[in-house]
Structure 1
C-alpha cells in the first residue's frame, strides 16, 4: 500500500516475455488447484475472510478460504455481471459485462475496496466502477466504496447531466472534495483516522464517452483495437509537477526508500490523510474519452497490479481471455471468457511476479470480442 515502509515489488522481465509464456506461468498449479481458483471467481459474488489465528478462538468464515500454500492468495472477493435485461434490447448498451477480483495477497490486512454500480444515476444509462487503495487502515477505502458513486449521483442531479469535459471536471472534483470533507470530519473525532487515506480511480461509462477521475496511484487503461491507452496518470511523489506543487504548499518530498511526501506517503494525492494537508490533496485528474467502435474493454486496478504488470501486458492477457483464446489453450484451468476470469488471471499474474500488495482489478467489457481458435 502506498504509505507502508515495505519496499516495492519489482517487475520481472516485463518487456521480453511472450504472452503465451505469461499465460502458462499463471497455470503452473495442478489442475485441481487451478480449477478451484477459477471456479471461485465464476461463482458471481464471493467473499472469503482471512482465517483467524487459532489462539483467538471462535470459528472461521463459513466459506473456507481457498489458498495454495505458496501463492499467498487469500481473502478473495469476486463479482461479475452482464448488462441488465431491461437494456439488452436497446440498440446500444454502455457496458456489455463486467467483473472484479480483489485479494489480500501477501499483506496482513486488506485495505483495498472496489465499487460496481450499474445504472448508478438512473435513468441516465451510465455505469460506475471504482477501485480504492487504502493505507493506514481500510476505513477511507470502504467509505469511498459506499459513498463516492452516491455523492457523484447527487452532484449530477443538482446541476444536470454533464455534457462537456469542463463540467465533468467540476462534478468529479466536487464529489472527491465532499468525500474528503467526510473523512476530515471523522479524523477530528478519532486521532487514528488522521493517518488514514485512500487512492481512488473511478470511471463513468456511457454509450458515447468514458469519463475517468483519478486521485493517487491506482490506474485506468482502455484497450482500443488491441492497443493499451492510458486514461489516467499516477500521482507519484517523484513526479516533477507534483514535487513543485507540494513544495509550493510548504511541504517537502523526501527520498527515503523511495520518494515520499514528508518522507511518509508515496502518492502525492489521496482522499483523507488529514495529517498531511495541504501537501496531499484530493483533487482528481479527469479525462473524457469519446468512444469508438474499436474500444474493447477497460481495466481499473490498484498498484498491486501496476507495480509488476505493464499496461500493455495487462491488456494482452485480458484480451486473450475475453476473446476465448485462453480457455481454448487451457481448458482445464479456464472455463470461460468472462471479465471476472480476465480479472482473476491478472491478479494471479501479479502475485506470480512478486506483488506484495493487496491487488484489486476491475475489467469492464465494452463489446463482445470474437472468439479466436489457436492454430494447431
Structure 2
C-alpha cells in the first residue's frame, strides 16, 4: 500500500484547502481518474439514453454482461459515477462507513425518529476490473453528517450530499474535484438529503430528501450562500413533492434538457421499495423540476444475496447502440452487475389481473 502522506503534501501545496484530506492511494502507478476528464451524460449521450429508455418495459430481457468483484471493503455503497476516457475506466463510489448504528426512539425527538449514530463518508475509486485505486474519507471523526448519498458527475466535478443518517435532519452539498478528491462544501440544507444532480446549463442543483419524497431546487447563480457558517441553511428556490410511490430513488444521473420531453431537465434514477419481505426494484426518468416521473420500468434482477440490483448505486451508458446499466446493490463485499437491454418490443399485452 502506498502511504498517502506524499500525495496529501503535494496537493496541499497547490490547494491549501485540501490539507485535511484523508486519502489512501493503493495504486500510485496508475492515474487516479482519466485525463482529460470525460464529458457528462448531459453533454454526450443523455438524449440517446432517454430515447433507448422508451424501448423498455416489463418484458425487456436484460442480458448479463459482467459480474465484477470490487476489491476490499466497500462499506455501504450509495452512489456511483463511471469515468471513461481512452483506455482508462474508473468507477467512483460514494459510501458510508458506519462505526455506531442509529437507534430508533420510542418517540419523535427534535423532529427525527432515531439517534445520530456515527461514521465516515467515503469516495472510493476502482478501475474497470474492480481493483481498488484510492479511498478518500471526506468527513472527520465525530462528524454529525457522514452519510454520503447518491452522486453525479457534471463533466468537471462530482456532486455529493453528505447528511445525518436519519430523516428530518440536516445535510450539506459538496463539490468534489475527481482529479484530487478535494471536497468543497457549497451549501447547507435543513433536511436529510440522499441524492443530487447538477444542471450546468442553468446552474441548478436538484436534491432528494429521505426516501426521495421531496425534490428541492437551488440555483447557484442566485444564492448568496455562506457554506462556512455552520447552522446557516440555504432555502431552496422550490420544493416539489414526489407524486410516485413506485420506488424510492437512491441514485440519479442528470441526462440534460431532453428534446423528447420538450426540453425539460431529465434525470435517470434508480431505487427500491421494501414492504416486509417483498422488494421491488426499478428505474425511472424524472423531471428534475417537478419530480414527475415521465417513464418508469420495474427491474426484476437480484444480487447474489437476494437484494434488487437497483438497491444502491446506478450508472448508465450506451454501448454499440444498446442501453447498459451498472449496478452495485450489496454492502461490504460488492459486485458490480452489468446488464444490457436486449432489443425488442417493450409492450406486454394484457396483464396479470385479466384481459383488457
Same fold, judged at TM 0.5 (above): no
| TM-score, structure 1 normalization | 0.35
Structure 1 or 2: more strand by fraction:
2
- Return the structure number with greater relative CO, CA threshold 8 A, min gap 6: 1
Structure 1 or 2: more helix by fraction:
1
